[in-house]
Every structure is written in C-alpha cells, then in structure tokens.
Amino acid sequence: MIATAFQYHGLTAYDRQRMSAHQLDWDNQPQFFKSYPGSRIFPLLRPETLPSCSLRELFEPWSASGASVPVCDLELVSRLLLLTSVITAHSRFDAGEIFYRSHPAAGALYPIEIYLYGPGFDDLPAGMFHYDVRRPALEQLGRGSFPAVSGGTASPTLVLSAVFRRSTWKYRDRAYRYVLLDCGHLLGNLRLALRALGYDFELVADFSDAAVNRELGFDPDEEAALFLVRIVEENFGKGRPSGDACEKIADDVSCTLETVADESRYPLLEAVQRLTSQSLTPGATSRGRESDKEPFAVENWFPLPGIEARFSGAGDYV
C-alpha cells in the first residue's frame, strides 16, 4: 500500500476536496483512561514546591558538570510526572465529556500514555509502572528489569505510547499524524520538566518496537510505544540495577482498555505503524544524549515591546 512514511503523510495531508463525510459516534466514544485493576498502587506525592527557573534557563545549553543532581525517588518522579501531564479541567455536554490535560492534544482526545521503568529506589521497587493520570498514581505492572525498555542500563526510562483508537475515532486513517503531534506536545513538557529538575537525559526514537511492546504487553494494533526518554545513568543518584530478568505482569493484573462497537480497520495507519516500527540502525538504542544535541537551542533573545513590566526579571520572555 505504502513504502515510506513520507507517502503516508502525502496521502493523508489535509485537503478539503478529498475529505469524506464523517460523524462522530458518541455512543461509542473511546474511554479517556487506561488502568490496570489488581496492580499495586503508589500514589504520587503532591509537591509542596516546584522548580523556580525561567524559560530562558531551560533552553540554555545543558552541562551536567558541577551540577547538583537530586536523588531520584518517588517524590522526584511525582514532580516529573505532574509537571508533564495532569488533568486540569472536566466538562460534560449532551454528547459526551472531556477531561482536559496540561498538554495539548488534537481534538482533546489524549491518545498518549506514559509508562515508567524504575531500577529500584528506596521508596519505589524495581519494575515497570503505568502512570494513572486520574488518581494520580503509579500502577505496578511487573517486577525486575526490562532490558528492551532500559536498553540494558540502570537508568529510569519513560515510555510514551499511543492508544490509536482514541484518535481514529475522529481522524480515521489520518490519526497517525495527530498521534505524532500529540506525542511531541507531551514530550515538550517532559523535556522541560527534566531540565527544571536538573537531569540530563537521552531521547530515544530508534529502538526495538517489537521488544518494547512485548515487555509492556501491548497489542501493537491497539497500542504501541512511540518514544523513550532515558535519564542518564550517572546522573540520577540512587538508582541501581536489579538483575537481568523481568517478571511479567501478574495474572491478576489485567489491563482495561476501551472496547467499542466500531471495529473499523484503518489500513494506512496500520501500514505506517509497521513501517516506522523497523529499526533504522540495528543494534543502536539511542540517537544521542541531550547534552550532545541541542535541537531547541536559542541563539538570540529579544524582549517584546510593551510587555516588559509584566515580568519580574529579564529573560522570562522571548
């Protein structure tokens, strides 16, 4: 059907003349949340204070040398996740309801889920966790090490996955475009939160999709890993390896994922997902450390006329 992702984007680009009629089936609206009943729950700690820094500081070139790196524990993980994604509002209307979050999402559908591999902290055992944004809390999915996710390191690693049906419900075959966009929005929040908390990290886009999906128990037609974010091992404090084997999700920990009557297939989306699941560089697990690459580096800052008085200090605006 398609041989490249470029072809997919060409075929699904917005064109008013090519759009077919489509109405949302509100009776079969996908659920907003995923949960794992039966899992051990670790409530996130509400931080009394948050990092205080300007946007300009977060975009300056990173240097871990001489930096005071905080200990990685449940409190730090709580700050990181709450700064990245949290429910901000809830609205009901005749056709359905919407739970808004602190990052943008096309159509307010929020298809991106967050998982955390932790190598073991004083107050959080080693294993895999799902971020339940409703509570908010971590749901433990398995114990031990998860080498496909961690890349064989002792580094805490976050997995950003996509639940495709949340987006295909509205955007059909074009949904993969919006899934990538939504992943980028959430990744932007996560990147800024990591910087604000003082961590160097790796952005990992080239990994074994099949192995990661298998470790997390995904059906890749329903949900698949899109991106990994790995905190650099030497900079996170008390994390430690926990052996080679991972203990899979227990029988009494089952996933509840939305089931709707609409069983439509979207061949273009399925095709591009298969294409982009192939490794670009066999054997590689990372595309470069954050400190080695500065894709968002800003060379010049310019104050906007007439609004300087609204900010407490220089450098808080661009």
User: Over the stretch 229-265, which tens digit does the pLDDT of each residue have?
Assistant: 998 765 454 444 444 445 555 444 445 544 444 567 8
Using alpha carbons, select from 190, 183, 225 the residue that is nearest to residue 206.
Answer: 225
CB-based contact 154:241 (threshold 8 Å): yes
70 pLDDT exceeds 70? no
What's the confidence (pLDDT) of residue 297? 56
- pLDDT-derived band at 1 (thresholds 50, 70, 90) equals confident
| Predicted pLDDT of residue 170 | 93
For 45, other C-beta atoms within 10 Å of its C-beta total: 16
For the residues 90-100, what does the mean pLDDT come to? 86
How high is the pLDDT of residue 146?
92
Q: Report, as an integer, the average pLDDT of 42-60.
A: 83
89 vs 53, residue with greater confidence = 89
The predicted structure's pLDDT at residue 165: 94
Cβ(120)–Cβ(87) under 8 Å? no
**Mean pLDDT taken over the chain:** 80
Average pLDDT on 91-102 reads 87
Average pLDDT over residues 34-62: 84
The pLDDT value given to residue 310: 43
Local structure of 17: helix, strand or coil: coil
Q: How far is CA 314 from the centre of its chain?
A: 32
- Give CA–CA dist 178/168, Å, rounded: 10
In terms of Cα–Cα distance, which of 273, 233, 234 is closest to 150?
Answer: 233
> Can you tell me the distance from the alpha carbon of 182 to that of 150, in angstroms, rounded to the nearest whole number?
23
Tokens representing 58 are 């977060």
What pLDDT is stored for residue 258 in this prediction?
44
> How far does the chain reach from its first CA to its final CA, in angstroms?
45
Question: What is the average pLDDT across 262-291?
Answer: 70
Which of 20-34, 247-261, 290-304 has the least mean pLDDT? Answer: 247-261
pLDDT at 63: 61
Cis peptide before 61 (omega within 30 of 0): no
Residues 106/181, Cβ–Cβ less than 8 Å: yes
The mean pLDDT of 6-14, rounded to a whole number, is: 91
C-alpha–C-alpha distance, residues 286 and 206, integer Å: 6
Residue 280 has pLDDT above 60, yes or no: yes
Q: What is the arithmetic mean of pLDDT over 284-308?
A: 53
Q: Please say whether the dihedral angle defined by the alpha carbons of residues 100, 105, 109 and 111, taken in this order, is positive or negative.
A: negative
Q: How far apart are CA 25 and CA 95, in angstroms?
A: 9
| Range from 12-26, 75-89, 162-176, 300-314 carrying the lowest mean pLDDT | 300-314
70: left (phi over 0), alpha (psi -120 to 50) or beta: beta
Amino acid identity at 155? S
Mean pLDDT of 68-89: 85
H-run or E-run covering 180: helix 175-197
Q: What are the tens digits of pLDDT across the range 138-150?
A: 999 999 889 999 9
| Cα–Cα distance, 54 to 18 (Å, whole number) | 45
Whether 62 has a pLDDT exceeding 60, the answer reads: yes
Taking alpha carbons only, the member of 149, 175, 153 closest to residue 229 is: 149
- Chain centre distance of CA 107: 18
Output the pLDDT for position 82: 94
Higher-pLDDT residue of 208, 57: 208
Work out whether strand 157-163 and strand 201-204 pair parallel, antiparallel, or are unpaired. Answer: unpaired
Find the helix or strand (DSSP H, E) in which 7 lies.
helix 5-11
The pLDDT of residue 125 is 92
Q: What does the pLDDT read at residue 24? A: 86
Q: Give the whole-angstrom CA distance, residue 18 versus residue 12.
A: 9
In this prediction, residue 239 carries a pLDDT of 42
Say how far apart CA 28 and CA 255 lie, in whole Å.
19
Q: Which range among 106-115, 188-197, 261-270 shows the weakest confidence by mean pLDDT?
A: 261-270
**pLDDT at 187 > cutoff 90:** yes
Mean local confidence (pLDDT), 259-276 = 78
- Cis peptide leading into 30, omega within 30 of 0? no
User: Which 3 state secondary structure label does DSSP give 74?
Assistant: helix
Residue 291 has what pLDDT? 44
Output the pLDDT for position 281. 61
